[in-house]
């Protein structure tokens, strides 16, 4: 037995499934306090299906919460970005291709430091911990707690990103740090942008996942909770709290997979009309 929950910007949907059989469904407005809407939806499907919550194998949650936060420019944390790569990359600083209003919300707190690697793993320049420490002191003085760290070709060698994070934690022990090497691939700007977006959403993600867990606890559900990611697979809820950016486009992905399952068609155009964005695939 499984419960699936879709927390959208407008509605929260829930379904109880036994194998491929739908046992109960409901739709309820999404509440500002996410927990209330989920509890209401859960209570409805549990009561309608007369489900013994102890028999649940898992609760799968799909949410556009973090995508909507970026689209609407709300609940985003001021975020600092430290890039390791000097003297290279100066002509394309962090956030160079961001919309102005989004960059302003995050604060344009960008820093370039020495480090980075070439495509074959050779150092561009030596890592300087004192340089990172000085940058972090400035970040601390601004009251910023969300930090993205990127390094040129860090997917080839992530050593400098890891070292930079260690120095940052010496100055800011409780900082929410995202390393670009844990998220993206080779391209510097794309990987760095993903890291910055992840960092600015970490606080929201922690609160949202806590709300999900609170809702399950309120219904005495002890089954593991999973959150869908943008490749159509699931991730542990705690992992999602650390990497909310991986939920981007998970809503449309879920819709495509669901439409394929329900229609049994190999080729189709699917339109997902949400309360905030509309996606076509």
Mean pLDDT throughout 37-59?
Answer: 90
| pLDDT band per the 50, 70, 90 thresholds, residue 20 | confident
> pTM for this one?
0.89
Q: What is the pLDDT of residue 228?
A: 93
What are the residues whose beta carbons fall under 8 Å from the beta carbon of 194, sequence distance 6 or more? 180, 183, 184, 245
Task: Give pLDDT tens digits for 162-219.
Answer: 999 999 999 999 999 999 999 988 999 999 999 999 999 999 999 989 988 888 898 8
CATH topology of domain 2-70+207-280: Nucleotidyltransferase; domain 5 (3.30.420)
Mean pLDDT throughout 18-34?
Answer: 87
Task: Give pLDDT tens digits for 77-110.
Answer: 999 999 999 999 999 999 999 999 999 999 999 9
Q: What angle do CA 59, 183, 64 make, to 5 degrees?
A: 40
In the predicted structure, residue 32 carries a pLDDT above the cut 80: no
Which residues does residue 176 pair with via DSSP β-bridges, in sequence order? 146
Q: What percent of the chain has pLDDT over 70?
A: 99
Rounded CA-CA distance 237/235 in Å is 6
Task: Give pLDDT tens digits for 115-170.
Answer: 999 999 999 999 999 999 999 999 999 999 999 999 999 999 999 999 999 999 99
Domain 75-200 belongs to what architecture? 3-Layer(aba) Sandwich (3.40)
- If 0-12 CB within 10 Å is exposed, 13-18 middle and 19+ buried, where does residue 2 land? middle
| pLDDT band per the 50, 70, 90 thresholds, residue 68 | confident
What are the residues whose beta carbons fall under 8 Å from the beta carbon of 137, sequence distance 6 or more? 171
Q: What is the pLDDT of residue 85?
A: 98
Q: Do the domains 75-200 and 2-70+207-280 match in fold?
A: no
Residue recorded with tokens 């601390």: 140
Domain ranges within the chain, ordered by starting residue: 2-70+207-280, 75-200
Mapped onto helix, strand or coil, the DSSP state of residue 38 is: helix
Q: What is the pLDDT of residue 7?
A: 84
Give the residue among 121, 111, 122 at the shortest CA–CA distance from 84.
Answer: 111
Task: Give pLDDT tens digits for 225-274.
Answer: 999 998 889 999 999 999 999 999 887 888 888 888 889 898 999 998 87
Contact call for residues 202 and 78 (beta carbons, < 8 A): no
């Amino acid at each position: 037995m499984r419960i699936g929950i879709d927390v959208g910007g407008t509605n929260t949907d829930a379904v109880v499934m036994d194998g491929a059989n739908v046992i109960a469904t409901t739709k309820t407005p999404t509440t500002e306090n996410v927990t209330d809407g989920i509890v209401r939806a859960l209570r409805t499907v549990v009561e309608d299906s007369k489900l013994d919550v102890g028999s649940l194998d898992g609760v799968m949650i799909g949410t556009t919460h973090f995508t909507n936060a970026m689209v609407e420019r709300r609940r985003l944390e001021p975020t600092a970005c430290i890039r390791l790569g000097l003297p290279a990359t100066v002509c394309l600083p962090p956030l160079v291709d961001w919309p102005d209003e989004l960059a302003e919300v995050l604060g344009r707190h960008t820093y370039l430091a020495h480090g980075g690697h070439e495509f074959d793993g050779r150092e561009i320049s030596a890592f300087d911990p004192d340089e990172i420490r000085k940058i972090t002191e400035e970040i601390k003085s601004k009251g910023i707690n969300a930090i993205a760290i990127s390094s040129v070709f860090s997917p080839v060698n992530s050593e400098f990103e890891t070292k930079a994070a260690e120095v940052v934690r010496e100055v800011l022990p409780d900082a929410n740090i995202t390393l670009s090497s844990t998220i993206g691939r080779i391209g510097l700007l794309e990987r760095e942008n993903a890291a910055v977006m992840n960092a600015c959403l970490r606080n929201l993600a922690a609160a949202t996942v806590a709300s999900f867990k609170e809702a399950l606890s309120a219904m005495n559900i002890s089954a593991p909770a999973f959150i869908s990611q943008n490749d159509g697979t699931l991730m542990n809820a705690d992992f999602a709290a650390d990497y909310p950016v991986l939920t981007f486009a998970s809503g449309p992905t879920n819709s495509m997979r669901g439409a394929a399952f329900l229609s049994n068609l190999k080729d189709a155009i699917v339109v997902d009309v949400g309360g905030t964005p509309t996606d076509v695939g």
